[in-house]
Amino acid sequence: MSLSRCILGLACLWHGVIASPPGAVPSNIPIAQTATVAQPIANSAAPRKLHGKFLHITDLHPDQFYKPHSSTDEADACHRGKGPAGVYGAEVSDCDTPFALINATFDWIAANIKDDIDFVIWTGDTARHDSDEEIPRSADQVLGTNRWIADKIAELFSDSTGQNLEIPIVPTLGNNDILPHNILLPGPNPWLQQYTHLWRRFIPEEQRHGFQFGGWFYVEVIPDRLAVFSLNTLYLFDRNAGTDGCARPSEPGYKQMEWLRIQLQIMRERGMKAILTGHVPPARTDSKKLWDENCWQKYSLWLRQYRDVVVSGLFGHMNIDHFVIHDEHDINVGLLAGLADDSIDTREAMDDELSITGAADYLLELRQNWAKLQPPPTDSKSPSKMKKGKKGRKGKKKKTDLWGERYSLSLVSPSIVPNYYPALRIVEYNTSGLENTPLWRDAAKNVMPIELEQNDRQKHLDLKRRHLSHTEEDDEIDAQKKKGKKNKGGDSKPKEPDFLIPHPPAKSSPPGPAYSPQPLTLTGYTQYFANLTHINNITTEDRPALSSDNEEDETWVDWLLRWRKGRHGNKKPTHPEPDPRQFNFEVEYSTFDDKLYKLGDLTVKSYVDLAYRISKQPNEGKAKGVDVTYESEDEEEEDKDLFEDVEDEDEGEDGDDDPNDDEESEDDSDDEELHDEKKGGKKHKKKGKKKQNKIWMHFLTHAFVSTVEKEDLKKFT
């Protein structure tokens, strides 16, 4: 009896020693080892399975100085004064994101989608803009909001112990996540060291050294099947005066492209697929660009040669919902091999932050480029319905690109910051055959021990000193040096020796998941948005006119170019206290049931067909100047679904023409009177109805997240 009591006592003593509240960590266990203790608890839960969905969230721009009912004027930036700034943000303004909107967004994610997604793609810009001269940004602020969001995401997607992430998170650096914005010097540098620490839960241990060196890494979100690459687009960004593109082996952009090439080759050899993500998209038109030309050329070539590996590219930064199509015919191998000079590129850098008019001009250029596409046959344009293909210069029939492999695709998501309406995206992908695939597990036991707060403070001070020593004059000098190096004829730039083009897929290889439906192909997405006009519930009245409000003589272009005060600009709320409605995200549209987009999936083939339909003009049949290799028998019938009759409101009551309207109509190839003018006749305003491409207007509506009325959208066409 005494022996059994002794054993029972020892058992109770043992349980008393190791017992602790849920989630607590015994004080005698180092932090870096806590995951090994918590792992059995995590394994006791129901096994996780793939849902075939992931979240893409971008450009949060949290602003700790935002004040509800403050002024949305440029001088106040929603930081002070009295005005119509809503509790959850000043929609359609240039103000940043209040913490209330950030918290409400994560609460909504937790309640609605947290348990239904497999991973998160977070594409940067997690600090406010430097738009208030009275409160200039500091390193503390930039790192502080990034730390806050990183902690919120880690907490949201952690298990019950708080020690292990349940799903992988893939962040990337934005151009506003550093000081000065846009300028990141080659690594290692203090900024990359800081983000290595802030994102220690997200970056695999074996890649932290590489991230400290260049800010790039990847995560196998489905082990041995799918990797998500986080590219440091700041080293590819044309506006980064701290680096010089991707041509010189000494440049971080060059090194990143080499790293990406090598990793994509490894992915191919392992039979894996890859999603490429970044902040600044590879947007490029005939007159504008965001990336350095050499970087863009290499990236486009990599997409082409590794088209059996790359699933898609996902980006943010631009705030507008759209997509970018890369054409292999735009790839200049001579430039990459050093046989051509990139200084002959006449494209200008896009504005740092696109205004509505800048975005509209950019989208118009995209549309013009899309008119030159050669879409592959869709279901309704199957090879059996194709007419005889046209012959090339040597009399040979042109080869039909059945899968659209001439092209590559980048998707650009709208933002949380309410420059339009806050938006986020749930993307779905094909999980056929992946039911029994081993899933990602957090390796939190390898996380670096959390550094002491004093060390953090010292790093902040170091960053402050660097910021203070790097003046605007230094930035201007750096920019001039960069420009001089690019354009100076006598400065021979060392080019990459013996440039080798990566091998394409084997001829026997089937099309990759970006082109043909198969496991890991993106099948569609659902776009969610928060209608802040409804949620903020602000009633306003006109405020007394100020000298700065003299806008009677300005054109609509002038109005769009200036600081955007939001939907309630120049007004004041009638109620002294905010009275918002319940916050909620709602579906803006879904590619699964959108009757105009008609996207059966998110393959390149589907998007090239959509882009081509967007580009079509009325009364012209197919887009002019396009040498397509097929012509469907029912193409004319399909064109009838593209256009709608709208009222021609160009003519005023007195019959006088607004000169600005004339300028717009000259640019609007949808107008029938412009079509008549092209025939050589004298231009006369047509009364009654004119035809308009419904899909183009639909695309513009979603580009601006349903914030611009249809009548106003006509100004952009």
635 compared with 133, residue with greater pLDDT: 133
Distance between CA atoms of residues 151 and 200, nearest Å: 11
Q: What is the pLDDT of residues 506-516, one digit of tens each?
A: 999 999 999 99
Q: What is the pLDDT of residues 154-194, one digit of tens each?
A: 999 999 888 899 999 999 999 999 999 999 999 999 999 99
Q: What is the pLDDT of residues 302-350, one digit of tens each?
A: 999 999 999 999 999 999 999 999 999 999 998 888 776 666 676 777 7
Q: What is the pLDDT of residues 187-217, one digit of tens each?
A: 999 999 999 999 999 999 999 999 999 999 9
344 compared with 277, residue with greater pLDDT: 277
Provide the pLDDT for residue 443: 74
Give mean pLDDT, residues 641-651.
66
Q: What is the pLDDT of residues 380-418, one digit of tens each?
A: 454 444 444 445 445 555 677 899 999 999 999 999 999
Instruction: Find tokens 């882009």 and name the residue.
Output: 611
Helix, strand, or coil (residue 326):
strand
- How many CB atoms sit inside 10 A of residue 560's CB? 18
Provide the pLDDT for residue 404: 94
pLDDT score of 65 more than 90:
yes
pLDDT score of 1 more than 80:
no
Structure tokens at 8: 């029972």
pLDDT score of 495 more than 60:
no
25 compared with 505, residue with greater pLDDT: 505
Q: What is the pLDDT of residues 544-583, one digit of tens each?
A: 544 444 444 444 344 344 445 555 555 565 566 778 999 9
Provide the pLDDT for residue 450: 39
Provide the pLDDT for residue 307: 98
pLDDT score of 435 more than 80:
yes
> What values do phi and psi take at 162, rounded to 5?
80, 0
Structure tokens at 319: 């705030």
Provide the pLDDT for residue 166: 97
Provide the pLDDT for residue 641: 72
Burial (CB count within 10 angstroms: exposed 0-12, middle 13-18, buried 19+), residue 540 = middle
pLDDT score of 229 more than 60:
yes
Cβ(291)–Cβ(284) below 8 Å: yes
CA dist list (Å): 73 to 265, 375, 422, 550, 586: 51, 46, 20, 14, 29
High-pLDDT (> 70) share of the chain, %: 66
Provide the pLDDT for residue 663: 40
Distance between CA atoms of residues 533 and 90, nearest Å: 9
Name all contacts of 144-149 with Cβ < 8 Å and 24+ positions apart. Answer: 144/64, 145/62, 145/64, 146/177, 146/195, 146/198, 147/198, 148/62, 149/60, 149/62, 149/102
pLDDT score of 2 more than 70:
no
Provide the pLDDT for residue 230: 99
Structure tokens at 553: 């003589």
Distance between CA atoms of residues 685 and 354, nearest Å: 33
CA-angle at 429, arms to 425 and 433, nearest 5°: 160
Provide the mean pLDDT of the chain: 79
Distance between CA atoms of residues 367 and 365, nearest Å: 5
Structure tokens at 672: 């029938």
Helix, strand, or coil (residue 323):
strand
Provide the pLDDT for residue 318: 95
Provide the pLDDT for residue 605: 97
Q: What is the pLDDT of residues 598-621, one digit of tens each?
A: 999 999 999 999 999 999 987 664
pLDDT score of 437 more than 60:
yes
Distance between CA atoms of residues 20 and 22, nearest Å: 6
497 compared with 580, residue with greater pLDDT: 580
pLDDT band at 45 (very low <50, low <70, confident <90, very high): low
Provide the pLDDT for residue 531: 97
Distance between CA atoms of residues 586 and 423, nearest Å: 9
pLDDT band at 57 (very low <50, low <70, confident <90, very high): very high
Provide the pLDDT for residue 690: 76
Provide the pLDDT for residue 592: 98
Helix, strand, or coil (residue 106):
helix
**Amino acid (1-letter code) at residue 174:** G
Give mean pLDDT, residues 61-90.
94
Provide the pLDDT for residue 487: 44
Three-state secondary structure along 604-624? Answer: HHHHHHHHHHHHCCCCCCCCC
Provide the pLDDT for residue 377: 77
Give mean pLDDT, residues 438-460.
56
Distance between CA atoms of residues 70 and 568, nearest Å: 12
Count how many residues are written for the chain. 717
pLDDT score of 455 more than 60:
no
Burial (CB count within 10 angstroms: exposed 0-12, middle 13-18, buried 19+), residue 711 = exposed
Cβ(317)–Cβ(282) below 8 Å: no
Give mean pLDDT, residues 267-271.
98
Give mean pLDDT, residues 220-232.
98
Provide the pLDDT for residue 635: 58
Pairing of strands 322-327, 273-277: unpaired
